[in-house]
Amino acid sequence: MKNDKGKYYRRIRMAKRIVSHLFLILIVIFSIFPIYYVLLMSLSPLSNLSQMSVEKLIPNLTYLTTGNYAAILYHYPFLTWLKNTLIFSASATFFGVLLAISSGLALSRMNIPLRKVILYMMLILSLFPFVIMVIPFYFMFSELGLVNSYTGLIIAYSAGAVIFASWLIKNYVEMIPKDFEEAAQIDGYTKTGALFRVVLPIAKPVVIFALVLSFMGPYTDYALAGQLLTNPDMYTMAIGMYYVSQGTVSMNYGTYSAFAVLMGIPIFLLFFAFQRYLVSGFSIAMYK
């Protein structure tokens, strides 16, 4: 009798495990399918979407080709787009995060006049998307002669990055016990020195998180860049990708997929390389 009951519970537990695994496998298929699909398309000789079929979802090694990658690299201005994207993203990340570190440390550890007012404003501003700023930025930068210039967009992107990044850094630093700096000050550091040499290294996860977030904004921005950049020599990858998707620039679907892979994979790898930091940065910044 007792044995039967044990068996019954074991069976229930078994069933629960199987259902759990089936559910998770379905979720995994759902989550990786589009990326698998685009990777496969990029390696297939496709001139348009109609040549893709369910049978081709299982890769056939004799059929795969790297021709699409050669095409996107040599027959389209991909390298120019890449160069421009990197100029915008790297500069904006550098300036945005630099300012964010300084203000994040100040807001969490120094006495600042109107501190609470600044924090409220930053919190409210961080709720609003960058797209809302596109209309006013477009006219402000036109008046300043900053259309088709690196400077204009770098200023706009740095501003876009700095508010949220300061907010993240401020929240994270507030969770670090003050003992560290106090000990450092006893060891002869100045207050500012202790902040930059002792507290900042502890805040590494959130700084990395802010770096990646700030880099991502300009990297995939079409809304502002598409309006402020009219000179094809200054186009970014996001503008190129948008024009192909709209049919303004015609491209084989396989080549388009190769473009999507080349543009996306670096970020994808970066994400997994810093996953540990990203994920802790996210959770700590959002809930205090």
Partner 1 sequence: MVKKIGSWNLRSLLFILPVIVVLIFLDFYPIAYSIYMSFTNFGEFHFFNYSFIGLENYIRIIRSGFLWQLLWQNAIYAFGSVALFAPLGFIIALVMNQRGLRGKTFYRTAILFPWAYPAFITILIWQGMLDYRFGIINELLEKIGIKPIYWLGTPGTAMLSIILVNLWLSFPYYSYVFTSAMQSIPTELYEAAEMDGYGPLGRLKNIIMPMLSRQIAFVVIFGFIFTWNNFYIPFLLTGGGPGTSTQILITYSYSSAFSYLQFGIGAAYSVISILVLLVVVIIANHYSKMMTVLY
Segment contacting partner 1 by CB under 8 A, of 76-84, 153-161, 179-187, 199-207: 153-161
- The helix/strand/coil state of 242 is helix
- 231 to each of 31, 147, 188, 227, how far by Cα in Å? 37, 9, 54, 11
Provide, rounded to whole angstroms, the least separation between the CB of residue 251 and partner 1.
12
Residue partners of 44: CB distance under 8 A and separation at least 6: 52, 56, 63, 64, 65, 68, 254
Q: Stretches 60-68, 80-88, 199-207, 239-247: which one binds partner 1 (CB under 8 A)?
A: 239-247
**54 binds partner 1, rule: CB under 8 A:** yes
Q: Write the single-letter amino acid at 2.
A: K
- Quick one: which segment of 65-73, 75-83, 84-92, 215-223 binds partner 1 (CB under 8 A)? 215-223
Shortest Å distance, C-beta 159 to partner 1 = 4
Q: Is the dihedral of CA 208, 209, 210, 215 positive or negative?
A: positive
102: contact with partner 1 by CB under 8 A: yes
Helices (H), 43-175: 67-74, 78-109, 115-126, 134-143, 150-175
State yes or no: residue 253 binds partner 1 (CB under 8 A).
yes
Q: Cβ atoms within 10 A of the Cβ of 183, count?
A: 12
Of residues 251, 254, 260, 281, which one binds partner 1 by CB under 8 A?
Answer: 260
Q: Does 277 bind partner 1 (CB under 8 A)?
A: no
Q: Does 47 bind partner 1 (CB under 8 A)?
A: no
Which parts of 106-145 interact with partner 1 (CB under 8 A)? 106-107, 110-113, 116, 118-125, 127-129, 131-140
Identify the CA nearest to 219 among candidates 240, 199, 204.
240
**Contact pick of 72, 97, 153, 163 for partner 1 (by CB under 8 A):** 163
One-letter amino acid identity for 276?
R
Site for partner 1 in 18-37 (CB under 8 A): 20-21, 23-24, 27-28, 30-32, 34-35, 37
